[in-house]
A and B are shown apart, each in its own frame.
Chain A
Amino acid sequence: ETGVTQSPTHLIKTRGQQVTLRCSSQSGHNTVSWYQQALGQGPQFIFQYYREEENGRGNFPPRFSGLQFPNYSSELNVNALELDDSALYLCASSGGLSYTFGSGTRLTVV
C-alpha cells in the first residue's frame, strides 16, 4: 500500500508568479484535501475534492484552485503569488474515517 506522495518537495517562486503542486493519494482513498501550514501554526484547510468535484472550501481566495483526476490524484494551483503564501502545503487523502498526510511541499515566495 503506497502512501501519499507530494511533488515537488521544495519550491522557490517570485511574487506574482503561478505555482502548481501535485499529490498522489493513497491507494483506495477517493478524497483529497489540501492544507496550508505557516511556520509555527497548525495546518489550515484550503479545500477538498471528492470524485473530481470541489467538496468544501476553507477561507482562501479564488486564486487558490485545484483539480482532482480520475485516478484520485490532485493538483493545487496558486495564482498571483504573495509573500504570505510562503508555507508548507500538505495534501491528505482519505477514505472513510482514515486521513493520511503527505510530507508536504515547502513553498517560498520571494
Chain B
Amino acid sequence: GQQLNQSPQSMFIQEGEDVSMNCTSSSIFNTWLWYKQDPGEGPVLLIALYKAGELTSNGRLTAQFGITRKDSFLNISASIPSDVGIYFCAGMNYGGSQGNLIFGKGTKLSVKP
C-alpha cells in the first residue's frame, strides 16, 4: 500500500536536545497530521495542519505544512524522556467520499536521560 517517505527512521538523542523529522509525498494533500504511538496503543494526534504554509505549535511541538502541499515537518524542542515513542506523519485529502489517512513508516525516538 501507499506510504509517505518519513525520515529519519530512528533517532537517539540526549535529553534536552531538539528533534526534527520530516515527511514527503509524491501526491499533494490538503491536510497533514502528526501522531505519536506508544507500545500497545493506538496513534494519538499531536498536531493537525489544514493550510499550505501553516505553522502550528502545541507546547514544545511545532509542525509546518509545506507550501507545495507535498511535505511537512515536526520539531520537538528540549526533549524529555516521555517523548520516547514512534512518531507518524499522515496525509489526507478531506472532502468528497473519502477521508482516509496515508501514513509514513514512522520515526522511532529514543531519549537518553
A59, chain B: closest CB distance, angstroms: 5
B2, chain A: closest CB distance, angstroms: 8
Count chain A CB atoms within 10 A of each CB in B33, B50, B90, B100 and give the residue with the most: B100
Interface residues of chain B, those whose CB is within 8 Å of chain A, are 1, 3-4, 6, 31, 33, 35, 40-45, 48, 50, 88, 90, 94, 97-106
Inter-chain contact A90/B42, CB cutoff 8 Å:
yes
Inter-chain contact A48/B100, CB cutoff 8 Å:
yes
Inter-chain contact A42/B42, CB cutoff 8 Å:
no
Inter-chain contact B45/A42, CB cutoff 8 Å:
no
Inter-chain contact A100/B45, CB cutoff 8 Å:
yes
A-B contact pairs, 25 of them (CB 8 A): A4-B42, A33-B101, A40-B105, A42-B6, A42-B90, A42-B105, A42-B106, A43-B88, A43-B103, A45-B101, A45-B102, A55-B98, A56-B98, A56-B99, A90-B42, A92-B42, A92-B101, A94-B99, A97-B48, A97-B50, A99-B45, A100-B45, A101-B43, A101-B44, A103-B41
Given contacts A44-B1, A99-B33, contact A90 B50 (CB under 8 A): no
Measured CB to CB, the nearest residue on chain B to A50 is B97
Q: Which residues of A contact B88 (CB under 8 A)?
A: 42-43
Q: Which residues of B contact A48 (CB under 8 A)?
A: 98-100
Inter-chain contact B94/A97, CB cutoff 8 Å:
yes
Q: How far is the CA of A33 from the CA of B98 in the complex (A)?
A: 10
Q: How far is the CA of A33 from the CA of B99 in the complex (A)?
A: 9
| Interface size class of chain A, counting residues whose CB lies under 8 Å from the partner chain | 20 to 34
Residue A2 lies at the interface, judged by CB distance under 8 Å to chain B: no
B14, chain A: closest CB distance, angstroms: 25
Instruction: Tell me what chain A mostly uses at the interface: helix, strand, loop, or mixed.
Output: strand
Inter-chain contact A59/B99, CB cutoff 8 Å:
no
Given contacts A58-B1, A97-B48, A99-B33, contact A43 B43 (CB under 8 A): yes
